[in-house]
Amino acid sequence: MSDNKEFVKEITNMDEDFAQWYTDVIRKTDLVDYSPVKGFMVIKPYGYAIWENIQQYLDIRFKQTGHKNMYFPLLIPESLLNKEKEHVEGFAPEVAWVTHGGDNELGEKLCIRPTSETIICHMYSKWLKSYRELPYLNNQWCSVVRWEKATRPFLRTSEFLWQEGHTLHETEQEAQDETIQMLNIYSEMAKELLAIPMVSGIKSEKEKFAGAEATYTIEALMHDGKALQSGTSHNLAQHFTKAFDITYLDRNSKLQHPYHTSWGVSTRLIGGLIMVHSDNRGLVLPPRVAPTQVVIVPVMQKKAGVLDRAYELKKELQDLGVRVDLDDSPNYSPGWKFNEYEMKGVPIRIEIGPRDIKNGVAMVARRDTLTKDQYELEGIGEAMKTLLENVHEDMYNKALAMREEKTYIVETYDELKDKMNTKPGFAKAMWCGCDECEAKIKSDTGATIRCMPFEQEKLSETCLVCGEKADKMVYLARAY
Amino acid sequence: MSDNKEFVKEITNMDEDFAQWYTDVIRKTDLVDYSPVKGFMVIKPYGYAIWENIQQYLDIRFKQTGHKNMYFPLLIPESLLNKEKEHVEGFAPEVAWVTHGGDNELGEKLCIRPTSETIICHMYSKWLKSYRELPYLNNQWCSVVRWEKATRPFLRTSEFLWQEGHTLHETEQEAQDETIQMLNIYSEMAKELLAIPMVSGIKSEKEKFAGAEATYTIEALMHDGKALQSGTSHNLAQHFTKAFDITYLDRNSKLQHPYHTSWGVSTRLIGGLIMVHSDNRGLVLPPRVAPTQVVIVPVMQKKAGVLDRAYELKKELQDLGVRVDLDDSPNYSPGWKFNEYEMKGVPIRIEIGPRDIKNGVAMVARRDTLTKDQYELEGIGEAMKTLLENVHEDMYNKALAMREEKTYIVETYDELKDKMNTKPGFAKAMWCGCDECEAKIKSDTGATIRCMPFEQEKLSETCLVCGEKADKMVYLARAY
């Protein structure tokens, strides 16, 4: 117990200082480290394994829906970046410029991709000839660089890992269907893998991607009542396909510009994962994305038979497809190990000692509820598989309840201003749709329109801010 | 047949112009394209799928041997690159420099990683405290940039995809064991996945990695008799760990520098795959790495029952874990499709038409031998699995025979000079070990010492060049 107390002290209480709590958790659990280049982080094995699980889930979903992976160059000539007007205005201030190759100054400076629409559209314009080749359904996994002034690991960094899908279609409708399909895959990934409930909707004109016709988003609510944009899917219409002169011969042998989408999620999801589920003892990882799902900690491991039985148990779980570790290190006490894996958010811990073995049982501790139960060793493998599923469901429901508790309707502008300070969360409100009201909300409250959700409710007839006629219900929140 | 003839004409005959043949094959089979940035290529879906199969094989082998994936930043400060003297001399002339972030000039210029020893060692020096944490066994999958003057897709490009392993160990012996273990995994990958036989050995001092104590290599022989360095594994001793002051407390509480290795393979392997196996009709892909292993082409597909039976066959193969495509496009004739998949190197093509179905058979064409055989439809799935294994074995043996045919002993220096022009290949010869003889061989013949192979033979007592005492047998070849 003394270990435990001492340990927990190392992580700042989230109610005292949420930002410091977040930093403590990611550093003490060895997910990331800061690199010598400001704003660039190192993703350590435990953090990277979470990303690999996200990649694996999504890559399968992408391929099932007909997408193929490609790889486009890291560097984009300035002239290409400049082709789509809104796009360059949005991104040029935050790109990194390569000016020298070896000892030579380059004739044209090259930017490190902040996103790849421009280089991909340039290539698509060379390739596409006929409607027969459509749709183009491609994706790439890579890193991108956006020079950020204020950075926080996972949430906002000057380099991050992501995937970016880039598709072309014959019709406006097909592009729209693709945009929504990919948003739904993101939302399902969040629910099924990360146990995070998302609000899906469309961004305002002001908040949409630079160059998009429409941007759709999934938004999650964090423990501190702030929102996190967790994935976006853009209907780019013909904005880029015209700027890059991508054309094809249609079914009537007429030259047409195709319709275009792009969509992405990034390592930012890991930040969301932490801020939704974790607690003052450290990480709480949902089982399906946890690098280790079950850890076995032997007790009195020097006693005859304990380690043998523990290894047998490990094999049983492995054979059932559970990601299981056994910590047989003689250098640390069981108590130290309990704390360590609790902090690291391993969903289930099994403790097994000589008395347990004699009685044919083991103690099973759940990270999410911090409860402990005795299980029969006979059939414990299948029981753990069921328990992992239950933990996932319970974590999702807990996150959903947390979000619902922090989601409320605001009827007056004063109420919004008050609530954003006293009860940060998702405020549902009616908005007239004009830029001025949107800007006013932001400057007065720090909240932004996170999205106009697909699931609309008619809260009133008038805009929260200006009192004019309003038919859009929006989610407002302060955001990361 | 007219289609076929016309088609084959589009690919230059490899005996007439091997370089042009290579370019034709990779362009016409849609593996890559040139990007607007000189020396940077786009890897298209068919090429990327080959890389994904290589990644999948290696990632499993790396994890089975205890390695974990991480991600280190893309950008490295100049001051870090400069820390290891030989390393910076080797790489500084070919790095890309970032000098501006957004509108601001950077205080210190940053290079895009040409390889990550420096940034990784910097981080390792922050992390490592005790021998208990050793070994460090890490890997990353990423792209690197080396500014090249003359580039060729896959073989030498200014950006390429690779993996780089970076490990630390307590003892010299452990680092040496790791270096050889990873080289052996590369060699096994080449044999088991790519059906390419490799010569394994150690590089000369002149050819080793900038900063290494010793570099080990796997070398393959191409159709044109030139060698391709296909993967390297470096024993870095304490060169970097001293330069970066990485220390730990050993078992006796003494401060020590750990021993260090790094190892990598890249998309260059795909170039080797092509130049070992392919022919004048296009690609020939070994089954285990082929994106599509079997393609089903229906004949007279409008006749009742043909497509139904073809889909049934597809499902049968899918259920057996075969990567199978069915081309039911009404826009192209079966003859066109036969040529298309032949060119794309799909290992097995199944042709199935109304008469075949009536007779309970299908025609099966092998890409590697260009032979066609009739198979009973009953049990054809299992038969194809066996056939795919046979194709792999046959392709490996054919590549081995090709290499053996082009490998020979040279006893005199004149013989070497003659053979490098008349019969390019691996020349086995004795070398005294001195830099002068090595440099002379290169300037006189264009051949370099590819390696001193693990399997040594005593061909004579004296150096091929200077006639002094020699105890090293080397493989000499012109190389990519």
Measured in angstroms, the CA of A476 and the nearest CA of chain B are apart by: 30
pTM: 0.96
Residues of A in contact with B51 (CB under 8 A): 71
CA B384 to chain centroid:
27
Would you call B43 an interface residue with chain A, using a CB distance cutoff of 8 Å?
A: yes
Place B102 in a pLDDT band, splitting at 50, 70 and 90: confident
Chain A residue with minimal CA distance to B330? A132
B100·A97 Cβ contact <8 A: yes
Would you call B48 an interface residue with chain A, using a CB distance cutoff of 8 Å?
A: yes
Burial of residue B374 (number of CB atoms within 10 Å: 0-12, 13-18, 19+): exposed
Residue B321 has pLDDT above 50, yes or no: yes
Residues of A in contact with B93 (CB under 8 A): 102-103
A80·B112 Cβ contact <8 A: no
DSSP secondary structure code for residue A111 in this structure = E
Integer Cα distance of B155 and B161 in angstroms: 11
Residue B2 has pLDDT above 60, yes or no: no
Would you call A119 an interface residue with chain B, using a CB distance cutoff of 8 Å?
A: yes
This model of the complex carries an ipTM of: 0.95
In chain B the domains, ranked by start, together with CATH numbers, are 2-277 (3.30.930.10), 294-388 (3.40.50.800), 407-477 (3.30.110.30)
| Residue A232 backbone phi and psi in degrees, to 5 | -135, 150
Measured in angstroms, the CA of B46 and the nearest CA of chain A are apart by: 8
Measured in angstroms, the CA of A184 and the nearest CA of chain B are apart by: 24
| Strand ranges for A195-252 from DSSP E | 199-202, 214-221, 227-237, 248-249
Would you call B328 an interface residue with chain A, using a CB distance cutoff of 8 Å?
A: no
Of B44, B98, B122, which is closest to A98 when you measure between CB atoms?
B98
Q: How far is CA A16 from CA A19, A21, A276, B301, in A?
A: 9, 8, 17, 71
Using CB atoms and an 8 Å cut-off, which of residues 120-149 of chain A contact chain B? 122-123, 126-127, 132, 138, 142-143, 145, 147
Would you call A187 an interface residue with chain B, using a CB distance cutoff of 8 Å?
A: no
Chain B residue with minimal CA distance to A43? B71
Of B37, B45, B161, which is closest to A110 when you measure between CB atoms?
B37
Residue B7 has pLDDT above 90, yes or no: no
- The answer to whether B114 and B145 have CB atoms below 8 angstroms apart is yes
Would you call A48 an interface residue with chain B, using a CB distance cutoff of 8 Å?
A: yes
B112·A159 Cβ contact <8 A: no
Query: Would you write out chain A's pLDDT as a tens digit for each of its 480 residues?
Result: 334 444 446 899 999 999 999 999 999 999 999 999 999 999 999 999 999 999 999 999 999 999 999 999 999 999 999 998 888 898 988 999 999 998 899 999 999 999 999 999 999 999 999 999 999 999 999 999 999 989 999 999 999 999 999 999 999 999 999 999 999 999 999 999 999 999 999 999 999 999 999 999 999 999 999 999 999 999 999 999 999 999 999 999 999 999 999 999 999 999 999 999 999 999 999 999 999 999 999 999 999 999 999 999 999 999 999 999 999 999 899 999 999 999 999 999 999 999 999 999 999 999 999 999 999 999 999 999 999 999 999 999 999 999 999 999 999 999 999 999 999 999 999 999 999 999 999 999 999 999 999 999 999 999 999 999 999 999 999 999
Using CB atoms and an 8 Å cut-off, which of residues 358-397 of chain B contact chain A? none
Place B411 in a pLDDT band, splitting at 50, 70 and 90: very high
Of A37, A44, A75, which is closest to B110 when you measure between CB atoms?
A37
A44·B98 Cβ contact <8 A: no
Q: What is the pLDDT of residue A239?
A: 96
Would you call A70 an interface residue with chain B, using a CB distance cutoff of 8 Å?
A: yes
Chain B residue with minimal CA distance to A332? B132
Would you call B107 an interface residue with chain A, using a CB distance cutoff of 8 Å?
A: no
Residue B367 has pLDDT above 90, yes or no: yes
- The answer to whether A145 and B74 have CB atoms below 8 angstroms apart is yes
Closest listed residue to residue A338, CA positions, set A390, A288, A281, A391 = A281
Instruction: Work out the angle at residue A90's Cα, subtended by the Cα atoms of residues A88 and A91, and round it to the nearest 5 degrees.
Output: 65
What average pLDDT does range B33-51 have in this prediction? Answer: 97
What average pLDDT does range B343-350 have in this prediction? Answer: 98
Of A71, A110, A112, which is closest to B42 when you measure between CB atoms?
A71
**B79 contacts: CB under 8 Å, gap ≥ 6:** B108
Q: What is the pLDDT of residue B9?
A: 60
